[in-house]
Amino acid sequence: MPIDLDLLLQAYANGIFPMSDARDDPDTFWIEPEFRAVMPLDGFRLSKSLAKTIRQDRFVVTSDTAFAQVIGTCAEPQADRQDTWINPDIKEAFCRLHSLGQAHSVECWSEGRLVGGLYGLALGRAFFGESMFSRATDASKVALAWLVARLKIGGFELLDCQFMTDHLESVGAIEMTQGAYLKLLEAALAKSVQSASGVASSGALAPRSDGNWGALDGAFGSSVAVSDDFSSTGVSSPGKFILQALTQTS
């Protein structure tokens, strides 16, 4: 049964998200974990090797150019997990949210192949990271670094990572109680939650104070992944711009 998008958005606004037991399981259930993983936007941890990979622009990084492919790949078995929680109803709901401009993806490409990426939901000044994948060394970490930079430049305040993993902990994610997380979430939403139609439950347009997902693209042109003109930013490549954004504190 298709997931109601207004119900889905309200669930995220209340610290709840959908999962399934397996990618081919038709049932979807709602999760409110006792502990939550969060990536502080000023706390992303850059190893020397990751910084070098980003600086050298080893991957072409794009946003929202292959959303369905990213979520489809995230739903596939991975080397460290033989099954995933993304069933067809969840995938379909997020593809609809993407078409409405509320769900987004970051993609890493190498020689024209999609080798890494992530996707999630933007709501107010919060971004809910859902899943990521990697088919090349550091591809998912590069995607996450670009996501953090994008969120910082766009005025976001919260990057929710749901559950802590060794991968997330290695790049700076922290774990907190659900109660502490809900306080951060409330501040990041700041009464900007909309329905899928853009109309608040009262029937009037709600005041918006949303993060700007596209601010990074505006910072160095629409051809961010392949542009050779960075004179206005004072840096010589997309990767160097991203490193600059990551090392600047709010």
**More confident: 190 or 17:** 17
User: How high is the pLDDT of residue 234?
Assistant: 47
- For 91-120, the three-class secondary structure string (H helix, E strand, C coil) is HHHHHHHHHCCCEEEEEEEECCEEEEEEEE
Residue 200 has pLDDT above 60, yes or no: no
Residue type, 69: Q
Residue 36 token pair = 């939550």
Residues with Cβ < 8 Å from 16, sequence gap 6 or more?
A: 30, 31, 32
The tens digit of pLDDT for each residue in 87-115 reads 999 999 999 999 999 999 999 999 999 99
Domain boundaries, the chain: 5-247
Beta bridge partners of 181: none
pTM of the shown model? 0.88
Residue 17 has pLDDT above 50, yes or no: yes
Residue 235 has pLDDT above 70, yes or no: no
Q: What percent of the chain has pLDDT over 70?
A: 84
Stretch 197-221: mean pLDDT: 65
Kindly indicate the confidence band of residue 225, based on its pLDDT and cuts at 50, 70 and 90: very low
Indicate the range of 58-67, 124-133, 138-147, 204-213 predicted with least confidence: 204-213
With beta carbons less than 8 A apart as the criterion, state whether 171 and 144 touch: yes
The tens digit of pLDDT for each residue in 135-164 reads 999 999 999 999 999 999 999 999 999 999
Compute the mean pLDDT over every residue in the chain, rounded to the nearest whole number. 88
Residue 170 token pair = 């290695």
For the chain, list the strands marked E by DSSP.
Answer: 17-19, 29-31, 35-38, 60-63, 103-110, 113-123, 126-134, 158-162, 174-177
Instruction: Look at the domain 5-247 and name its fold.
Output: Aminopeptidase (3.40.630)
Residue 80 has pLDDT above 70, yes or no: no
